[in-house]
Amino acid sequence: MHNARLLRDLRLRGLVPLMVYIDLDFPVQYGRGVPFSVLFPHLYIGPEENVRTLDLRVLKGLTVQVNGFDVGRMAALEAVIAMADAKRIITVLHRVFGEGEFQSFPIVSVTDTEGVLTWQDS
């Protein structure tokens, strides 16, 4: 999990990010070059990683947004985040549209454990 150590070190220093973003299975070229932010850290989980075995205790008490493409993997990751006792979990399901430099990731649905941001594309 890319940037996990940076987030852990941040939490050990007593700092609390406003929201943690997790990109699940996004192509490497999208986001991994973005500098790590103290207020809005980004974590990246690759397709080769088993989300059920990740240690996500660092997310305890935080608001987390998960972006991904696979409903099953997102549900599994959401369950692990919930077990870590995150304060709020927002999931954003995307689909891949286009190819190469014209590729985009429109949103299909949004769920929110607080119910505020729940939305489904018609």
| pLDDT one-digit tens code per residue, 84-103 | 999 999 999 998 888 777 77
Rounded to the nearest integer, the mean pLDDT of the chain is 87
Backbone angles phi, psi at 20, to 5 degrees: -110, 130
Q: Give the tens place of pLDDT for each residue, 19-72.
A: 999 999 876 555 555 666 778 888 999 899 999 999 999 999 999 999 999 999
CA distances from 23 to 14, 31, 57, 84, 108 (A): 24, 9, 17, 18, 15
Could you give the CA distance from residue 31 to residue 75 in angstroms, rounded to a whole number? 22
What is the helix (H) or strand (E) element at residue 64, kind and residue range? strand 63-68
What share of the chain in percent tops pLDDT 90? 59
Q: Which residue has the higher pLDDT, 116 or 72?
A: 72
Environment class of 42 (CB within 10 Å of its CB; exposed 0-12, middle 13-18, buried 19+): buried
* Helical ranges in 1-122 per DSSP H: 4-12, 71-83
Give the pTM.
Answer: 0.86
Here the contacts of 9-13 (C-beta below 8 Å, separation 24 or greater) are 10/38, 10/41, 11/58
Is 90 exceeded by the pLDDT of residue 17?
yes
